[in-house]
Amino acid sequence: MLDIGVNVIVLSWHGLTGSDGEGVQTNKVTPVVFDVAEEMGMKIAFHLEPYEGRTAKSVRYDVQHVIDTYGESEAFYRVNYKGEQLPLFYIYDSYHIPSEEWKRYLKKGGPLRYGKYNSVFIGLYVGISSRDHIKDSKFDGFYTYFASSGITPGSNPGTWKDLEQWALQKRNKYRTDVAARLRLPRHTGDR
């Protein structure tokens, strides 16, 4: 993948005990993924997936676990954000947790905003109502996830220019789905 310019993978992670739709406990396979990434010279960022009982508080402990376990690995991805090299976490279905709950952990001085756990948190943008949730939750930015047009209003490339303008006004980081950003010619969104 390095030979085509891909040096960071975003790993879906379902918490300490959760599993993906096929029953794979992602926490158990993550050490192997890190070993391979280190061998290949790749980096790994985390896509924190929903799991039963997920709250902003449980995500705090997930982030602490991830950083404590993988933070020293050469494969652990950090992004330059406001002059610091910080871990990057995408939060899938972030809107299922009230913004007041997120704000407790993501506001300036919150438990995920200082010391070794200070990170960049990117919330999921689904549609126009996501704007207030992302802003009020104190996410550092947002992403649209879906690469196929029409799945959500946020996945429609026709809205991305407006989203970019909104992000610039709010000083948010803005990310569309990686497949859309790479403009993969055969990506249909169903693979």
Residue 170 has pLDDT above 80, yes or no: no
Helix (H) or strand (E) segment spanning residue 106: helix 99-106
Helix (H) or strand (E) segment spanning residue 175: strand 173-175
Q: Report the range of poorest mean pLDDT among 28-37, 111-120, 135-144.
A: 135-144
Tell me the C-alpha distance between 101 and 99, whole Å: 5
Tell me the C-alpha distance between 55 and 102, whole Å: 8
Name beta bridge partners: 28: none
Residue 12 has pLDDT above 60, yes or no: yes
**Token digits for 133?**
């949730």
Predicted pLDDT at 172: 57
Mean pLDDT value across residues 141-170: 77
Tens-place pLDDT, residues 22-79: 888 999 999 999 999 999 999 999 999 999 999 999 999 999 999 999 999 999 999 9
Residue 147 has pLDDT above 80, yes or no: no
Residue 155 has pLDDT above 80, yes or no: no
Name beta bridge partners: 84: 81
pLDDT above 70 covers a percentage of the chain that reads: 87
Helix (H) or strand (E) segment spanning residue 124: strand 120-124
Name beta bridge partners: 143: 124, 175
Residue 179 has pLDDT above 50, yes or no: no
Mean pLDDT value across residues 10-17: 92
Tell me the C-alpha distance between 82 and 39, whole Å: 30
Predicted pLDDT at 164: 78
Predicted pLDDT at 22: 87
pLDDT above 90 covers a percentage of the chain that reads: 57
